[in-house]
Structures are given as structure tokens and as C-alpha cells.
């Protein structure tokens, strides 16, 4: 009977994978996989996280299996175990105290020194990690790109922009990049909100310390800035960011930004700064679907060590679909209530205690995007028709109707509504609303049309 060298098979598999994959791809996903042992006819390998394991299984399993089959000539399977972050060790040469020349005691002795874990970064939350970021169809691309960046900062996907609405995980994903880099390297990471960046810039100007400001931000290894839409209509700080951007990009340092909308929709923003953002990778975060909302609740409950029935998970996932932040806040709310009252989390308690949150979430979920899509489809148009500048009568009428319904069904201001229609100002929105109000006085059929559209919008929002 021939005994297979399972560790040798795995090493050869890695060599062949390295030849087939791009350097950053192999380094990002396979460099941290460690051979652990043989288990029957299985090769058992260790990975640092469930996120890492799922990525490898989903995208590389068939390739790995085919390589192992050819190398081993047998039906060898691979098994994965989560081992956590591997401890880095370095071999050093240590001399014992001097004795007679040539004595054995004077021979260098190999010892190992464990590399100490770095302290938590003061500008980032320790729970904003990849392990705690629940992946789904709405954020899969953004999460994969972010993890690849964290493995090879400055090498690929630079600059990286994450955009999307409130509470969808932009800050979590950006800080997960920073936390991973900080924990696994000696690179300097700066994580800052755009507001604090602006305040430091103004302090530098006012106190004649711009050289200190410039040195700080142009000589870091990784720069993470949250909510860059805050720089709108602030040309001075935009100019400084432009030069910082160029200095870091030229030095192959990693840049990561978040924004509440696509960069192309930012108004009163420097064209040349926008062009720099367009150089890199952009990832859009969308509200999570039902299955993803369930996964998020289960994940958070597990972290909290709380048992929640499938019925409660289903109830919350169906009634809170606005964003991740609202979903987790509701879960924390019901956990706190039941812990204080000494009661289990039941469907009845969840329905009663969260009814106001359910109601608010359903209203919040009526995004302008949903309204625009439904109205456009009803009139045989596209969302871009309503957001654009075309002035044909059918498009103008549909656009005015969508603006009116948006004001009726949401809490958005006319300025915010105008932003969602391609950056139109609030006077245009007010004109459209007043136009529809005037038509309602003379056209009773329009009232029925609006009611039907509202019903369709609610149905659409409930499904997405």
C-alpha cells in the first residue's frame, strides 16, 4: 500500500496555483493558508477567518480540486479549519555568555521570538473587521475588493471608493481595511472623517502650521477618509486633498474613501479631483436583501451570545429593510429589553416592542431611487430619463410627478430630492410640486394615477 505525502501534495498544489493566478490574487488568498495535517484521505488546511474560507471555497474550489487530483492521482479531498490569525515568528541568533574559545556553549543558539500584537488603532473601532462584515449580493464586490486591498495595500485597486446610502456598511468596510493592515504590518494608517480632516486643515492655515499638516498626510502609508461629500463647496480643502492624493498615489500608498453617492454626482467639486477618483475602483453598496438581512441578524446574535428563533429573525428581516444600521439597532433594542425584563425573545414581544421601529423602517425604505424607478417604468421611461436634462413633454410630466410623490411619501427636503434627480436645485423641485398640485385641482384622474403609483412604489420597496 502506497502512503501519500499529503503535505507534499499541498505544497505542489500551491506552486501550481501560483503559476496559474495573478501575483496579487495568489498572495491575497493563498499565502495565509497553512497545511495542518492529513485526516484519512483528506488534506486539512487552516485559514485565518470564515470570510477567507468562504472566498476560497466559492471561487477556487474547483481549481484546487483539479490540481490535487492530478498531483495525487487519487480522490484526495481538502478540508478547511478556521485557525485565526497566525502568529508571526522570527528566528534570531543568540550568543550565550562568553566562555572558552571554541566551546560548545559559544555556538549560536536558535531561539524564536514571538512578534507582539500591535495595540488597537485609536482612530478605528475594533469590531469593524472583515470577520464581522456579513457578505451578500449587495456588497460582495466591495467586500472582496476591500479584503484584497488589505492584503496588498497600494499594489492594486488604488484609489478605492466605497459609496452608498446611510447605514449600509461603508465605514465598517473602510475600517476593516485599516484594521487588517494595522494588525498585520508595520505600515502607518491614518483613518479620519472628512470633517476632522477639514478642521485640521483650517487649524494649519490659522496657526501657520501647514507644513506639519502636509507632512502628516503626505507621508503616511494608508489614508482612509470617511464621507468625502462633506468637502462639497469647500475649494480650499479640495485643493489640499488633490495634492495629498497625488503625493500618495505617486508613492504607491493606499487611498480609501467613502461617499454617500457616486463621485460623478458630487456638485461643486473640483473636476481634477473627481478625475483622480475616477482612476481607481468604485464599489456601490446597496440595501441588503431579505436573505442577507437574516444573515446579519444571526451573525450579530451569535456575537452577542443570544439565542433568537427563526420566526423572530424572519419577522425583523421582513419589516426592517432600510439599512444595516437600523436592523442591528432594532436587534440590540429587543435584546436589551428582554434581558432587563428577564424574558425570552418571542415573536409576540418583538411585534409589540418593535412596532414603531417597523413602521418607521417601512417609511424610510421608500427611497427616491425606488420612486424614480417605479414612475419611470409606469411611463415607459428609464430612471436616467427622469434624472437627466431632457425636456420632452412626457419626460417632464413624469419627472414632476416623481418629485411630487417623493415629497409626499418621504421626509426628504426639496434640496435632497433635487440631488436625486441629477443635482437639480430646490426651486426646480418646488416648481414641479406646485405644478402637480395645480393639475390635481382640475384633473380628478390624476389623483387616481398618483394613488396607483404610490401603491406600486410600496410594493416595489417591500421586495427590495
Q: What share of the chain is helix, strand, coil (3-state, %, to 5)?
A: 55, 10, 30
pTM for the structure as a whole:
0.55
Same domain, 260 and 159: yes
Same domain, 353 and 411: no
Same domain, 300 and 199: no
Same domain, 144 and 275: yes
Q: Of the given ranges (16-30, 167-181, 243-257, 320-334), which has the lowest mean pLDDT?
A: 16-30
User: Does pLDDT of 10 surpass 80?
Assistant: yes
Task: Say if residues 135 and 234 touch (Cβ distance below 8 Å).
Answer: no
Same domain, 339 and 400: no
The distance of Cα 304 from the centroid of its chain, to the nearest Å, equals 22
**Banded model confidence at residue 218, pLDDT cuts 50, 70, 90:** very high
Same domain, 152 and 269: yes
Residue, of 251 and 69, whose pLDDT is higher: 251
- Domain's final residue, options 37, 60, 82: 82
- Domain's final residue, options 364, 387, 415: 364
Residue 316 located in a structural domain: yes
CATH number of the domain where residue 359 is located: 1.10.8.60
Q: How many domains does the chain have?
A: 4
User: Does pLDDT of 80 surpass 70?
Assistant: yes
Section 436-458 average pLDDT: 87
pLDDT at 131: 87
pLDDT at 92: 35
Same domain, 310 and 407: no
User: Does pLDDT of 99 surpass 50?
Assistant: no
For residue range 373-414, list pLDDT tens digits in order.
999 999 999 999 999 988 899 999 999 999 999 988 876 778
Same domain, 295 and 281: no
Q: Of the given ranges (109-118, 188-197, 449-458), which has the lowest mean pLDDT?
A: 109-118
User: Does pLDDT of 123 surpass 80?
Assistant: yes
Residue 177 located in a structural domain: yes
Residue 334 located in a structural domain: yes
Question: What is the percentage of the chain residues whose pLDDT exceeds 90?
Answer: 36
Same domain, 156 and 254: yes
User: Does pLDDT of 88 surpass 60?
Assistant: no
H/E element holding 238? helix 235-250
pLDDT at 455: 81
For residue range 306-351, list pLDDT tens digits in order.
888 889 998 888 888 767 888 888 898 889 988 888 888 898 988 8
- Domain's final residue, options 259, 285, 311: 285
CA distance 41 to 77: 7
Mean pLDDT of the chain: 84
Q: DSSP secondary-structure letter at 382?
A: -
- CA-based nearest residue to 7, from 90, 95, 68, 50: 68
Q: Which residues contact 431 (CB under 8 A, 6 or more apart)?
A: none
pLDDT at 247: 94
CA distance 53 to 179: 19
Same domain, 354 and 407: no
Strands of the sheet containing 160-164, edge to edge, are 189-193, 222-226, 254-259, 160-164, 281-285
Question: What is the percentage of the chain residues whose pLDDT exceeds 70?
Answer: 88
Same domain, 73 and 19: yes
**Banded model confidence at residue 84, pLDDT cuts 50, 70, 90:** low
Residue 20 burial (CB < 10 Å; 0-12/13-18/19+)? exposed
User: Does pLDDT of 222 surpass 50?
Assistant: yes
pLDDT at 433: 93
Same domain, 303 and 166: no
Please list the alpha-helical segments (H only) found in 285-365.
Answer: 290-304, 310-319, 324-341, 347-353, 355-364
- CA-based nearest residue to 280, from 184, 139, 384, 148: 148
For residue range 155-204, list pLDDT tens digits in order.
878 999 999 877 888 999 999 999 999 999 999 999 999 999 999 999 99
pLDDT at 384: 92
**Banded model confidence at residue 86, pLDDT cuts 50, 70, 90:** very low
pLDDT at 57: 87
pLDDT at 187: 93
First to last CA, the chain: 58
Q: Is 225 helix (H, G, I), strand (E, B) or coil?
A: strand
State which residues form the domain around 386.
Answer: 368-463
pLDDT at 3: 64
Amino acid at each position: 500500500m502506497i502512503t501519500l505525502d499529503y503535505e507534499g501534495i499541498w505544497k505542489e498544489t500551491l506552486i501550481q496555483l501560483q503559476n496559474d493566478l495573478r501575483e496579487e490574487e495568489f498572495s491575497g488568498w493563498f499565502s495565509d493558508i497553512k497545511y495542518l495535517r492529513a485526516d484519512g484521505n483528506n488534506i486539512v488546511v487552516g485559514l485565518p477567518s470564515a470570510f477567507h474560507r468562504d472566498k476560497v471555497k466559492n471561487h477556487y474550489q474547483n481549481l484546487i480540486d483539479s490540481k490535487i487530483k492530478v498531483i495525487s492521482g487519487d480522490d484526495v479531498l481538502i478540508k478547511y479549519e478556521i485557525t485565526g490569525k497566525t502568529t508571526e515568528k522570527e528566528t534570531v541568533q543568540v550568543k550565550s555568555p562568553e566562555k572558552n574559545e571554541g566551546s560548545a556553549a559559544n555556538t549560536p543558539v536558535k531561539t524564536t521570538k514571538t512578534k507582539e500584537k500591535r495595540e488597537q488603532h485609536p482612530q478605528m473601532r475594533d469590531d469593524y473587521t472583515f470577520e464581522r462584515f456579513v457578505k451578500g449580493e449587495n456588497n460582495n464586490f466591495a467586500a472582496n475588493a476591500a479584503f484584497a486591498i488589505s492584503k496588498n495595500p497600494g499594489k492594486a485597486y488604488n484609489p478605492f471608493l466605497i459609496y452608498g446610502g446611510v447605514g449600509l456598511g461603508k465605514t465598517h468596510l473602510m475600517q476593516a481595511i485599516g484594521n487588517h493592515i494595522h494588525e498585520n504590518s508595520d505600515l502607518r494608517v491614518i483613518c479620519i472623517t472628512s470633517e476632522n480632516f477639514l478642521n485640521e486643515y483650517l487649524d494649519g492655515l490659522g496657526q501657520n502650521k501647514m507644513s506639519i499638516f502636509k507632512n502628516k498626510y503626505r507621508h503616511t502609508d494608508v489614508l482612509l477618509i470617511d464621507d468625502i461629500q462633506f468637502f462639497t463647496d469647500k475649494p480650499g480643502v479640495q485643493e489640499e486633498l488633490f495634492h495629498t492624493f497625488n503625493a500618495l498615489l505617486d508613492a504607491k500608498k493606499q487611498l480609501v474613501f467613502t461617499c454617500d453617492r457616486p463621485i460623478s454626482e458630487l456638485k461643486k467639486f473640483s473636476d481634477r479631483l473627481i478625475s483622480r477618483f475616477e482612476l481607481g475602483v468604485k464599489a456601490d453598496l446597496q440595501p441588503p436583501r431579505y436573505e442577507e438581512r437574516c444573515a446579519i441578524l444571526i451573525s450579530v446574535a451569535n456575537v452577542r451570545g443570544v439565542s433568537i428563533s427563526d420566526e423572530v429573525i424572519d419577522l425583523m428581516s421582513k419589516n426592517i429593510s432600510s439599512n444595516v444600521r437600523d436592523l442591528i439597532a432594532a436587534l440590540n433594542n429587543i435584546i436589551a429589553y428582554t434581558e432587563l425584563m428577564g424574558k425570552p425573545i418571542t415573536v409576540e414581544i418583538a411585534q409589540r416592542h418593535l412596532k414603531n421601529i417597523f413602521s418607521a423602517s417601512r417609511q424610510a425604505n421608500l427611497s427616491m431611487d425606488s420612486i424614480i424607478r417605479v414612475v419611470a417604468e409606469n411611463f415607459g421611461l428609464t430612471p436616467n430619463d427622469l434624472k437627466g436634462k431632457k425636456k420632452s413633454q412626457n419626460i417632464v410630466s413624469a419627472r414632476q410627478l416623481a418629485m411630487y410623490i417623493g415629497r409626499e411619501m418621504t421626509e426628504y427636503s426639496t434640496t435632497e430630492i433635487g440631488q436625486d434627480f441629477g443635482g437639480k436645485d430646490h426651486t426646480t423641485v418646488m416648481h414641479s410640486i406646485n405644478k402637480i398640485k395645480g393639475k390635481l385641482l382640475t384633473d380628478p384622474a390624476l389623483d387616481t394615477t398618483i394613488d396607483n403609483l404610490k401603491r406600486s412604489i410600496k410594493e416595489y420597496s417591500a421586495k427590495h
